Structure 1
Amino acid sequence: ITQNPTKYDPLKHPENNKIRREWFLSEMHKQGKLTKEEYDTAMAESANMKFTGDLKKIINPEIQSYFVENCIEEVINDLVTELGYTKDYAKSLIYRGGYKIYTTIDQEMQTYLEQKYADPKTFPKINNPEYPHSSFVIMDTNGKLLALVGDRGEKTGNMLYNYATHIQRQPGSTIKPISSYALAIENDYLNFSSMVEDSPIKLKDPSTGVEKDWPVNVYGQYLGKITVDEALQRSTNTIPVKLVEMLTPSKVFDFVKASYGFMGLIDPNDRDLSSMSLGGMTKGVSTLELTAAYQIFANGGLYTKPYSYTKVLDAENKVVLEKSTVPKRIISSETATVMNRLLQNVVEGRIYGKSNAKLSNTPMGGKTGTSSNDYDHWFIGFTPYYVAGVWLGYDTNISINYKPNPYPAMVLWRNIMSGIHSKLPTKDFQYNQNVVAAEYCIETGELAGPNCTKKSMGYYKPSFIPPVCTLHSGTAQSADGENHNSQNPVSSSSSSVSTSSSSSVTSQQSSSSQSSSSKSSSSKNNNGR
């Protein structure tokens, strides 16, 4: 091993290297290892010796991307869990064992994402003196990781803190679609336009014993009866709370844990209303975990744990690891189609107008999330091509002060994903063809009759199609002649469960239209909650 290689590096310290090498030549001549002629020739060469090489690469060794470092961590973890290796031994094999890792990276997309995250112009304006950290994850609709960045700015070192995978933060309202709404629609407690009661529940303050209204809505009021479609667009807090209360926090916890494998879920702390309905978890989720959960709305209800490599070979090209990518079903394809349509409406914005995340050239759905006091900002969105998620926040609890500017997570998501989709042909999602498309009455949530003036398009599982509006066309009768009006578990009045389709419905189509506005409200725009 060369003595003090840094001090005598010929590119960094050529003079030190010259002194050292000529000392060696002198010692070799003194000890008879070199003749006088050989010594003189070598010294002449030394006097004019020039070294070639990239000094920049010497000073700054190759910087690995966040994607590559995450992939290495994934392989090491799999070597430990699947083959029983110690972590140190697994690391030694990766770095010195001649292993070949076949990654899932889309290099063009990764480079684009890194360039965008290195450019301050990519990031929307906020009012804080220092900009928060941010992470971004892009995968296909079946869990294959394509690109990832762990913080904003240019990456200047290796093994830096990765905010896409190393940190767990409260997901806020992004939990609502993947927990309460998906589970309730899967079990036919709700349909697309069920009437639900936007009103608080009573909670007793443990310190004072006084009951208080909870939760509050970001729009500062309670609206009474609204449809599920409207509740999700408004990001109403009261409805998911009542859904989780009805389903039980324990059942929802088990569903979320088994479905998505969130590592930060704490049992029993997170088996409660706040955690499962509003995302107020003890620790939280990573950007990678949360993004992966939304794949179920883009692919028909299936979940594949996100992965960044397909196989690993040893120095002799023998397979050491091969990634299993068999998906598991989380919700039915019919439920996934209904949820997909609901989340498209969130972005399309019948109530508030198109969201700041909306892409101009492709259909998409998504949901924002904000933790208490604006500590964390999220947007998870999906298109027929990709599922992508963005997070912004600080290391400590510092509020992100963005008003009156647009909600930054949505703008940042669009700034990245618009470029990703710019050259892709427009295509639609693959919907379950059993799902029924039909206009519903916004005032009742039931199928629109000829006298209903406020209507919107809804999408219904065959197992839960509402009757024709009773308010504007009399008592509804289903096709079998029975009255199927029944009380919704989360509302004093609701659309009914129907066992057979009304003649006014049509099969699922790839496009929809909406007309008329919903209940007017003086509340502030709550996009981004």
Structure 2
Amino acid sequence: MSSDNRKRPVLRADPRPAGRPAKAAKAKPKPKPKAPPRKAPAKKAAPRKSVARKPAPSRKRRRSGGGPPPRGFFARIGWSIKRLIGWIFGVIFAITWRGIAVLLLILAGATAYHYSTLPPALDLTDARVRGSVTLLDREGDVYAWRGDQFGGIITADTVSPHLKNAIIATEDRRFYRHFGISPRGIASAVRINLREGRGPLSGHGGSTITQQVAKLLCLGTDFSPESGQTEAEYEAECRSGGIWRKVKEIPYSMALETAYTKDEILTIYLNRAYLGAGARGFEAASQRYFGKSAAEVTPPEAAMLAGLLVAPTRFAPTNDLARSQRRAATIIGLMQEQGYLSDTEAAVAQANPATLSAAAERLAGGYFADWVMDSGPSFLTSETTEDVIIRTTFDQRIQNAAEEALQYVFDTKVSKGSKAQAAIVVMSADGAVRAMVGGRKLQVSGAFNRATQALRQTGSAFKPFVYAAALDLGYRPNDLILDAPLTINIPGSGPWSPRNYTGNFYGEVTLTEALMNSLNTPAVRLSEEVGRENVRKVATDFGIARKMADGPALALGASESTLLEMTAAYAGILNGGSSVAPYGLTELRLLGDTTPLMGQAGGIGERVVSQRAAQELTYMMYRVIADGTGGRAKLPENRQAAGKTGTTQAARDAWFVGFTADYVAGIWMGYDDNTPLTGVTGGGLPAEIWRETMTRVHEGRPQKPLPMTLPPARAPEAPQVVQSRPDTREDPIRNAAERVIRDVLGQILGRN
């Protein structure tokens, strides 16, 4: 037996000859197995030595600049900078994603909060602070609108498809694809603003329709008068476009997108957008400008309405129709580009631009409408929260006549560039105002009204009240009065001597001649004779409500009044001596109701002077136009008319007020700053404006005689000369007694 410890022979390969390929070595046959040896006692196995394995390379990306620092000074600096930059970017990344996560949580919370506060969509279609007032003329036709007009709810389904397409093409072409905000639109707007030299959010805002709705809803904050803000301040805050405001719009817009469908959001927009001329919503605007529903508008009309969104006042067709049409043409091009109109439809729309309805085009009665709004109860007019319908005395034909007359005279008789102003009032004998022009600028709303708001000295236009007081006390048109130098001592002021406009005196003249030629000293003598208090009372009872002058200059119109008051006072002379209260409102009711809340049938008040006195005064004023200072007011075809000129000191004011059997008209002319007129008296341009107005007003009307009484011929052998008796001017009892005596004597002598 061989020993177990015997070494086995080492097998070696045969050496390979150089230059020859290696051959496979023949394997030697394995020796046959021998019988197993007798087992020796088991020995304890030695522990296996662990072999240290090289660690596998980590799959984790090594940080930039990791590992041991390189050798070399500059290499170490580069390595340090690289590690610092890597650390900074790591911190920024960590802060950024955590900040974004926080912002998303805040955005989600704010959106959820706004979502919980939103009511049903239809509840947001009409949340006006004020109601609307629609004014009708005497025939029942609309001529003016005030307040916030709301034509009724119109939805995205019922509005004209052309209008819907025009709005989307103009305001938000991706409206049906975005989630409430459009980053692309904002970026585009910022780029345009910067290119045009503005701030990034100044000018184009890039707001979607949803964001505009959020702005219209003021982010869910309703106006409250108790907040201390005015309505204008509230709306300005809602329209503000700062960065913080834009940020606040985002969650609210996303809440709108979550709560409502796209068509519901568009419905809110259609009903709340402001479109100029007091119109809130497209239905009101369509009715206002075109006299039709927003469901019926054509492509050019739809384009014009959509064009109002960017700047309602600037592009309102009632402000500048040509500019509004140019804006509409641009929008028609956008609709064509985006496939809403075919080439043929766009060409037809461009060739036939939208025009205003007849009522909107006239734009008549702005001053009159403002006056009616001020004269009615504020809670049903200027401050109404309801939609109100007011029927008025306004006559659009007469208004057009007055406006045309004023324009004609200023175009043909007044030098170009003149800043002089004029005002006109036309009314019926019962005080029903038919037309009103408050200044040379005709198409206005809320402007200063010189017919109702300007207090001006009346000059000689006041003299008829002096003669009315005298006639009512028994004087007659043919009674004589002295036109001669007169001096009155005024306590505290010293002597005062009135003079005539011509500088001459004419001796004894009749009362008719004195009024006809507007002589000053006879008017003062007569006022002193009958008593200033009586003159003041007659003027006050006729409607001159202002405080009057205390001295003798009262007779010459030193007191102030408005044109409306003076015209109404003359209407009292026309109607036979009764006062009138000028009125324009005849019926007021709420929209949808048939029963009026208030109304007025006439303005005639109490009698001021006798009918005889009024009719004799009418004759005297008839002579003013026929033979006196008012000759330039004569009407064609010898139509009878009566009136009185008026010119104040230094010609700061020029008046002509007069009437026919049908209408009373008052004219005032002057400068707003009281600059004296040059070469203008009441018998000049004001008389011509009056003639042009009344000629147009009476076109086609039959002639009617004035309600006047011609005085009996005066007996030359028994003249009655009225002397100045200042001692009687403050004795009303004596004056009344004299009046009774004169009436009795007049009846005995057959003078009545």
Give the TM-score of the pair, scaled to structure 1.
Answer: 0.68
2:368 partner letter: N
**Secondary structure at 1:24 match in 2:** coil
Alignment correspondent of 1:226: 509
Equivalent residue runs for 1:247-286 within 5 Å: 247-262=530-545, 265-266=546-547, 270-274=549-553, 276-281=554-559, 284-286=560-562
Partner of 2:175: 24
Instruction: Rate the CA distance shift 1:124–1:391 in 2: closer, same or farther, 3 A.
Output: farther
Cα 1:331–1:124 shift into 2, 3 Å: farther
The 5-angstrom pairing of residues 235-254 of structure 1 reads: 235-254=518-537
The 2-side partners of 1:320 and 1:212 are apart by 57
Question: What is the match of residue 394 of structure 1?
Answer: 671
Q: Tell which deviates more after alignment, 395-404 or 412-421.
A: 395-404
Aligned to 2:631: 355
RMSD: 4.0
Please state how far the C-alpha of 1:334 moved relative to its aligned partner.
0.5
CA distance in 2, matches of 1:321, 1:159: 24
CA contact (8 A) 2:655 2:669 kept: yes
SS at match of 1:23: coil
**2:78 is equivalent to residue 78 of structure 1:** no
Q: Figure out how many residues of one structure are paired with residues of the other and give that number.
A: 418
| TM-score, scaled relative to structure 2 | 0.49
Decide whether the 8 Å contact of 1:137 with 1:164 is kept in 2: yes
Q: CA 1:401 to 1:330, structure 2 compared with 1: closer, same or farther past 3 Å?
A: same
Cα distance in 2 for partners of 1:375, 1:44 equals: 57
- For the pair 1:415 / 2:692, whether they are aligned, the reply is yes
- Separation of aligned partners in 1, 2:418 and 2:460: 25
Aligned to 1:116: 405
- The AA in structure 2 aligned to 1:346 is V
2:609 matched to which residue of 1?
331
- How far apart, in 2, do the equivalents of 1:417 and 1:379 lie? 12
Q: Name whichever structure is richer in helix by fraction.
A: 2
Letter in 2 for 1:134: A
Instruction: Describe the superposition over 1:35-75 as per-residue Cα deviations: whole angstroms up to 9, x where unpaired.
Output: xxxxxxxx9998212598977769xx958856354345435
Cα distance change, pair 90–142 in 1 and its aligned pair in 2 (3 A):
closer
- Per-residue deviation, 1:103: 1.0
The residue aligned with 1:439 is 713
CA contact (8 A) 1:63 1:156 kept: no
Whole-angstrom distance in 2 between the partners of 1:19 and 1:341: 67
Q: String of CA shifts for 1:365-392, please: whole Å, max 9, x gaps.
A: 1000011111111100111111111111
User: What secondary structure is seen at the aligned counterpart in 2 of 1:201?
Assistant: coil
Q: Which has the higher strand share?
A: 1
Q: For residue 471 of structure 2, what is the amino acid of its counterpart?
A: I
CA 1:212/1:65 → structure 2, altered by over 3 Å: closer, same or farther? farther
Equivalent residues in 2 for 1:277-316, closer than 5 Å: 277-281=555-559, 284-315=560-591, 316=593
Q: CA-to-partner distance for each residue in 1:288-339, whole Å, 9 max, x for gaps?
A: 1111111122221122211112110113233222125243211111001110
CA contact (8 A) 1:71 1:103 kept: no
Q: 1:403 to 1:297 in 2, by over 3 A?
A: closer
CA contact (8 A) 2:578 2:605 kept: yes
| Contact in 2 for aligned 1:194/1:227 (Cα 8 Å) | yes
Return the alpha-carbon distance in structure 2 between the equivalents of residues 354 and 204 of structure 1: 32
Which of 418, 422, 427 is residue 134 of structure 1 equivalent to? Answer: 422
Structure 1 residue identity aligned to 2:651 = D
Sort the Cα spacing of 1:486 and 1:62 in 2 relative to 1 into closer, same or farther, 3 A. Answer: closer
Asked if 1:49 corresponds to 2:340, the answer is yes
**Structure 1 residue runs without a partner (length 5+):** 3-9, 35-42, 441-446, 449-468, 472-484, 508-529
C-alpha spacing 1:487/1:114, structure 2 compared with 1 (3 Å): closer
Unaligned runs of 5+ in 2: 1-123, 126-160, 183-256, 263-333, 727-740
AA of the residue aligned to 2:376: D
- Out of 130, 155, 167, the position equivalent to 2:454 is 167
The structure-2 alpha-carbon separation of the partners of 1:290 and 1:437, relative to structure 1 and needing over 3 Å to count, comes to closer
**In the TM superposition, what whole-angstrom CA distance separates every residue of 1:449-490 from its partner, at most 9, and x where no partner exists?**
xxxxxxxxxxxxxxxxxxxx248xxxxxxxxxxxxx796556
Asked if 1:193 corresponds to 2:478, the answer is yes
Q: Deviations over 1:425-470 (max 9, x none)?
A: 1121234xxx674222xxxxxx25xxxxxxxxxxxxxxxxxxxx24
Identity of aligned residues (%): 23
- CA–CA distance in structure 2, aligned partners of residues 486 and 224 of structure 1: 11
Paired residues of 2:409 and 2:689 also in contact (CA < 8 A): no
**Aligned residue in 2 for 1:183:** 469
